[in-house]
């Protein structure tokens, strides 16, 4: 069974949307097999988002993601990596299809409520960042 990482970001945590977002994920058939709330410090945030280092939005992304706790979930299902990305919608909530997580809970391209690992990038690395015990070969 495939696994991926989904983060509920500080904007959604502040607005008390953790339960609603997790409920939607479960209703969609994604099993939650790990859950942790953590506040990242600057160096952890820079490490987690290292792939975006050097981009113009990187400083504001780090500022935002360290502004409060995040909730990290490990999700499991067939083909979960691409299905979750469809389910949350694109980065910019304004471009997201009605009913997707970012359309419902996101308020801007920066405050877009959730992050899900990009299947084209290193999913295992993102998972092990929050769930070190779940390291597996892919």
Judged by the rule CB under 6 A, the positions of this chain that interact with ligand CMP are: 52, 57, 60-61, 91, 109-110, 112, 115
Helix residue ranges per DSSP H, 15-105: 18-27, 42-48, 58-65, 80-88, 101-105
Residues 129/74, Cβ–Cβ less than 8 Å? no
CB of 106 to ligand CMP, least distance (A): 9
Q: Smaller CB distance to ligand CMP: residue 77 or 88?
A: 88
Q: Smaller CB distance to ligand CMP: residue 37 or 51?
A: 51
Active site annotation includes 16? no
CB burial string 108-135: b at 16+ within 10 A, e below: eebbbbbbbbeeeeebbebbebbbeeee
Which of 104, 84, 89, 82 has the alpha carbon at shortest distance from 26?
84
CB of 14 to ligand CMP, least distance (A): 15
Question: Distance (Å, rounded) from C-alpha 98 to C-alpha 38?
Answer: 29
Q: Which of 7, 115, 126, 131 is an active site residue?
A: 115
CB of 114 to ligand CMP, least distance (A): 8
Q: Smaller CB distance to ligand CMP: residue 97 or 137?
A: 97
Q: Which residues are catalytic?
A: 115
């Amino acid at each position: 069974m495939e696994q991926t990482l989904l983060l509920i970001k500080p904007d959604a945590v502040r607005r008390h949307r953790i339960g609603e977002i997790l409920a939607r994920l479960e209703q969609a058939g994604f099993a939650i097999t790990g859950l942790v709330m953590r506040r990242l410090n600057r160096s952890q945030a820079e490490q987690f988002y290292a792939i975006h280092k050097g981009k113009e939005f990187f400083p504001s992304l780090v500022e935002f993601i360290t502004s409060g706790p995040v909730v990290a979930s490990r999700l499991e299902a067939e083909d979960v990596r691409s299905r979750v990305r469809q389910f949350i919608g694109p980065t910019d909530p304004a471009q997201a299809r009605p009913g997707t997580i970012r359309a419902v809970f996101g308020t801007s391209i920066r405050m877009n409520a959730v992050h899900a690992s990009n299947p084209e990038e290193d999913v295992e690395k993102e998972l092990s960042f929050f769930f070190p015990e779940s390291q597996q070969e892919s």
